[in-house]
């Protein structure tokens, strides 16, 4: 690929680009003749895959703590917390119940009236 095949992302497709001297992280650097902006041909996607994200969220729903997930999946716990917050904000709010149900069931209700000796 020669320099005339590339276009500056800032200036537009009509600007000439030439190869910069050297490489950065194994990728050829390019520079715009007019604006001087440096860039590379293609940028790698950063972040975690959706599969890892879903596994971490599933572990959280199943009762694992943030730091336990961090130890198993090697994903920082604040990243997992941010994912949980994002998913939580996307959920609809709980509906308001104006009526009190007539019949309820309470399992294992224990009360204590009086003093202990």
List pLDDT tens digits, range 66-100: 999 999 999 999 999 999 999 999 988 877 777 77
Q: CB atoms < 10 A from the CB of 47, how many? A: 8
Alpha helices, DSSP H, located in 5-76: 50-61, 66-73
Does the residue 66 lie in any domain? yes
What's the pLDDT at 5?
56
Span 10-17, mean pLDDT? 58
* Domain region containing 25: 3-40
The total number of structural domains that make up the chain:
2
Q: Which two tokens stand for residue 100?
A: 């009190």
What pLDDT, on a 0 to 100 scale, did the predictor assign at position 17? 61
Closest CA to 32 of 53, 49, 51, 7: 7
pLDDT score at 110: 72
Is there a domain that residue 114 lies in? Answer: no
Best CA proximity match to 22, nearest among 11, 34, 38, 35: 38
């Amino acid at each position: 690929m020669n320099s005339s095949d590339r276009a500056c992302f800032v200036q537009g497709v009509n600007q000439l680009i030439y190869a910069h001297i050297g490489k950065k992280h194994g990728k050829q650097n390019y520079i715009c003749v007019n604006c001087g902006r440096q860039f590379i041909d293609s940028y790698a996607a950063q972040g975690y895959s959706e599969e890892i994200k879903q596994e971490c969220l599933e572990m959280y729903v199943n009762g694992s703590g943030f730091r336990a997930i961090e130890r198993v999946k090697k994903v920082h716990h604040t990243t997992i917390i941010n994912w949980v917050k994002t998913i939580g904000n996307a959920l609809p709010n709980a509906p308001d119940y104006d009526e009190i149900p007539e019949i309820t069931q309470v399992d294992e209700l224990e009360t204590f009236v009086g003093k202990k000796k």
